[in-house]
Amino acid sequence: MKKQEVLNKMAKQVFVSCQAYDPNPHATIPDMVKMAIAAKMGGSTGYRVNHPDYVRAIREEVGPEPIIIGIWKIMEPGNDVYITTTMEAIDALVEAGSNVIALDCTDRVNAYGYKGYDLVPQILAKYPNIGIMADCSTVEEARLAKEAGVDIVASTMSGYTAYTVDRYAFDVDLDLLRGMKELGDVFVLAEGRIWTREDAINAFKAGADCLVVGTAITNPWKITERIVEATKDI
């Protein structure tokens, strides 16, 4: 599938992030495949998926049409930058069936001594038809990623960097989405703390071209916890 076709298919769509980690009881490949099937039944046209093994399993089940945003969270001790940090990870995600590769493009150096957007020229040269998505926490990071050549800028990291931690108190970061949209000529994806239908509508109104929703759909543990915490003092 050509890159522009991928972006066209993503426009105005809701994707589901099919990820789970220990001690979540759903942190298995079969469970995440079921989540992807359920999301497809509900009208989702694509997924964000962590790890080549999960990408491959979901691709085999859902077929060639849905768009998969592939990531690989590679944890290194003492470093908080872990989303798709090497070309080897990108190679494996592409081989497994990803249409888009998302990587941490925050203003932080990863464990290998470079920032995420430093990989962009290599990805463009090797995989001209693979979309490149920058997970950002600020408009400036999105601007730098755009200049490096990414196709998509995303609000994924808002609230998850030391210099945006105050944003975590908000739901979806509408101000960041508006700022990204003002960059012009780049696809804007909203991700992070989209909990309700209203959040989703507001994200599109703020300028998002596509949404990725995760925990609010695929994590019964955290959905329950959120409701229990909200009602404790009533």
User: Tokens for 186?
Assistant: 């780049």
Residue 171: its pLDDT value, please? 87
Q: From residue 157, how far is each of 5, 25, 64, 81 by CA, in Å?
A: 26, 25, 29, 11
Cβ–Cβ under 8 Å, residues 130 and 87: no
pLDDT tens, position by position, 48-98:
999 999 999 999 999 999 999 999 999 999 999 999 999 999 999 999 999
User: Tokens for 75?
Assistant: 């944890």
User: CB-hemisphere CA count at 13 Å for 88?
Assistant: 3
pLDDT band at residue 172 under the 50/70/90 scheme: very high
pLDDT at 169 exceeding the cut of 90:
no
pLDDT tens, position by position, 208-233:
999 999 999 999 999 999 999 999 98
pLDDT band at residue 14 under the 50/70/90 scheme: very high
Rounded Cα distance between 129 and 123, Å, is 10
Whether the full predicted model's pTM is greater than 0.95, yes or no, is yes
Give the domain CATH number at 223: 3.20.20.70
The domain of 78 spans: 3-231
Cβ–Cβ under 8 Å, residues 47 and 18: yes
**DSSP codes of every residue in 171-207:** SS-HHHHHHHHHT-SSEEEEES---SHHHHHHHHHTT
Rounded Cα distance between 202 and 69, Å, is 23
Domain count, the chain: 1
Alpha helices by DSSP H, the chain: 3-10, 29-41, 52-62, 87-96, 120-126, 139-148, 174-182, 197-205, 215-218, 220-231
